[in-house]
Structure 1
Amino acid sequence: MSFNWRRPFTRRQGDDHHLTSNNDSTNHGSNGSFDRHGDAGTVSDGSLQYTVEKGGNDSPPAYQEATGAPVEVNSPLGYSVGPVSIIMLNIGKMIGTGVYSTPSNILRGTGSVGLSMIFWALGFFTSAANLSVYLEYAAYFPNRSGSEVVYLEQAYPRPRWLFPTAFAFQSVALSFSSSNAIVLAQYLFRINGHSPTAWQLKGVAVAGYTVAALFVSFHTRLSYHFSNAIGIIKLLTLIFVSLTGLVVLGGHIPVTRIPNPHLNFHNSFSGQTTPYGVTNALYKIIFSYAGFENAFNVVNEVKNPVKQIRKNGFVALLIVAVLYILANVAYFAAVPKEELVESQQIAASLFFTKVFGKSGAVRGLNFLIALSSFGNLIAVLIGSSRLIRECGRQGVLPFPRFWASTRPFGTPLGPYFVKWALTILMILAPPAGDAFNFITDLQVLPSAFFQLVMGIGLYVVRYRRSRLNLPRPEFKAWDVVVVFNILVQLYLVVMPWYPPAGGAYAGDVSFWYGTYVVTGVGILVACAIYYYLWISVIPKLRGYRIRQEVLRLEDGAQSHKLVKVPVAQLAEWDATHDAVGRPLNNSVVGSDRGSSGEKVGRDEKKDGSH
Structure 2
Amino acid sequence: MEKLRLKRDIGLFSAVSLNVGLMIGSGIFMTPQRILNLMGSPGGSLSIWAAGGVMAMLGALCYAELGTMIKDSGGEYIYLLRTFGPFPAFLYIFLTVCLLSPTSQAAIALSFAQYAVDPFYQGCSSPEIVVKCTAIVCIIVVLFINCLGVKLAVFIMNIFMASKVIALLVIAIRGVGLLINGQTVNLQNAFEGTVIGFGQIGIAFYQVLWSYGGWSNANFVTEELKNPEVNLPRAVIISVLLVTCLYILVNVSYFAAMSSNELLSSGAVAISWGNKILGKWMWLMPLSVVLSTFGAINSGTFSGGRLYYVAAREGHLPAVLSMIHVRRLTLSPAMIFTAVTATIIIITGDFSSIINYNSVCTWIFFSLTSASLLYLRIKKPDLPRPYKVPILIPILFFIMAVYLVLAPVIDSPQMEFLYIFGFMLISILFYILLVRYKLHPKFLHKVTLHLQLLLEVAPTDKYEDD
Same fold (TM over 0.5): yes
Q: Separation in 2 of the partners of 1:556 and 1:404?
A: 4
Matched, 1:238 2:176: no
Q: Separation in 1 of the partners of 2:166 and 2:360?
A: 34
Q: CA deviation at 1:525?
A: 1.8
Instruction: Pick one of 235, 260, 269 that aligns with 2:191.
Output: 269
Q: Who is 2:30 aligned against? A: 101
Alignment check: 8 A CA contact 1:190 1:363 kept: no
Q: Separation in 1 of the partners of 2:129 and 2:418?
A: 31
Q: Which has the higher helix share?
A: 2
Q: Separation in 2 of the partners of 1:356 and 1:164?
A: 48
Instruction: Pick one of 377, 385, 394 that aligns with 2:297.
Output: 377
Aligned in 2, Cα 1:249/1:417: closer, same or farther, shift over 3 Å? same
Q: CA deviation at 1:272?
A: 3.9
Structure 2, unpaired ranges of 5+? 440-455
Q: Separation in 2 of the partners of 1:218 and 1:447?
A: 30
Q: CA deviation at 1:532?
A: 3.1
SS of residue matched to 1:405: strand
Q: Who is 2:238 aligned against? A: 315
Q: CA deviation at 1:351?
A: 1.2
Q: Who is 1:515 aligned against? A: 415
Q: Who is 2:287 aligned against? A: 367
Count of residues in correspondence between the two structures: 439
Output one character per residue of 1:126-164: Cα deviation in whole Å (capped at 9) or x when no partner: 01110111111112112x11111110101102xxx2123
Matched, 1:527 2:427: yes
Alignment check: 8 A CA contact 1:405 1:412 kept: yes
Q: Who is 2:448 aligned against? A: none
Aligned in 2, Cα 1:136/1:374: closer, same or farther, shift over 3 Å? same
Q: Separation in 2 of the partners of 1:276 and 1:440?
A: 15
Aligned in 2, Cα 1:202/1:267: closer, same or farther, shift over 3 Å? same
Alignment check: 8 A CA contact 2:367 2:401 kept: yes
Instruction: Pick one of 370, 389, 393 that aligns with 1:477.
Output: 389
Q: Separation in 2 of the partners of 1:438 and 1:349?
A: 22
Q: Who is 2:206 aligned against? A: 283
Instruction: Pick one of 443, 452, 457 that aligns with 2:358.
Output: 443
Q: Who is 1:163 aligned against? A: 88
Letter in 1 for 2:144: L
Q: Separation in 1 of the partners of 2:438 and 2:31?
A: 48
SS of residue matched to 2:344: helix
SS of residue matched to 1:292: coil
Aligned in 2, Cα 1:538/1:223: closer, same or farther, shift over 3 Å? closer
Alignment check: 8 A CA contact 1:100 1:346 kept: yes
Q: CA deviation at 1:264?
A: 1.7
TM-score under structure 2 length normalisation = 0.89
Q: Separation in 2 of the partners of 1:374 and 1:527?
A: 32
Letter in 2 for 1:238: L
Q: Separation in 1 of the partners of 2:61 and 2:435?
A: 34
Aligned in 2, Cα 1:203/1:165: closer, same or farther, shift over 3 Å? same
Q: Who is 1:453 aligned against? A: 368
Output one character per residue of 1:291-344: Cα deviation in whole Å (capped at 9) or x when no partner: 111111111111210211212321121111111111111100000111112x14
Q: Which has the higher contact order (CA 8 A, sep 6+)?
A: 2
Q: Who is 1:576 aligned against? A: none
Aligned in 2, Cα 1:314/1:270: closer, same or farther, shift over 3 Å? same
Aligned in 2, Cα 1:234/1:533: closer, same or farther, shift over 3 Å? same
Q: Who is 2:277 aligned against? A: 355
SS of residue matched to 2:74: coil
Q: CA deviation at 1:536?
A: 5.4
Alignment check: 8 A CA contact 2:23 2:212 kept: yes
Alignment check: 8 A CA contact 2:147 2:330 kept: yes
Aligned in 2, Cα 1:533/1:555: closer, same or farther, shift over 3 Å? closer
What's the Cα RMSD here?
2.2
Matched, 1:136 2:39: no
Q: Who is 1:510 aligned against? A: none
Q: Separation in 1 of the partners of 2:211 and 2:21?
A: 12
Q: Separation in 2 of the partners of 1:283 and 1:458?
A: 23
Q: Who is 1:557 aligned against? A: 460
Q: CA deviation at 1:265?
A: 1.5
Matched, 1:428 2:347: yes
SS of residue matched to 1:166: helix
Output one character per residue of 1:388-433: Cα deviation in whole Å (capped at 9) or x when no partner: 11111111223x1333333342111111111111111111123xxx
Q: Separation in 1 of the partners of 2:137 and 2:221?
A: 27
Q: Separation in 2 of the partners of 1:340 and 1:423?
A: 31
Q: Separation in 2 of the partners of 1:332 and 1:234?
A: 20
Q: CA deviation at 1:439?
A: 6.0
Q: Separation in 1 of the partners of 2:68 and 2:263?
A: 43
Q: Which has the higher strand share?
A: 1
Instruction: Pick one of 219, 239, 244 that aligns with 1:296.
Output: 219
Q: Who is 1:211 aligned against? A: 141
Q: Who is 1:114 aligned against? A: 43
Output one character per residue of 1:73-122: Cα deviation in whole Å (capped at 9) or x when no partner: 97822111001101111111111111111111111111111111111111
Aligned in 2, Cα 1:74/1:298: closer, same or farther, shift over 3 Å? farther
Q: Separation in 2 of the partners of 1:378 and 1:514?
A: 31
Output one character per residue of 1:514-547: Cα deviation in whole Å (capped at 9) or x when no partner: 11101101111221233234455788xxxxxxxx
Alignment check: 8 A CA contact 1:385 1:412 kept: yes
Q: CA deviation at 1:464?
A: 2.8
Output one character per residue of 1:344-391: Cα deviation in whole Å (capped at 9) or x when no partner: 42111121111134x3x2222111211111011001111111111111
- Percent identical pairs in the alignment equals 24
TM-score under structure 1 length normalisation = 0.69
Q: Separation in 1 of the partners of 2:209 and 2:406?
A: 16
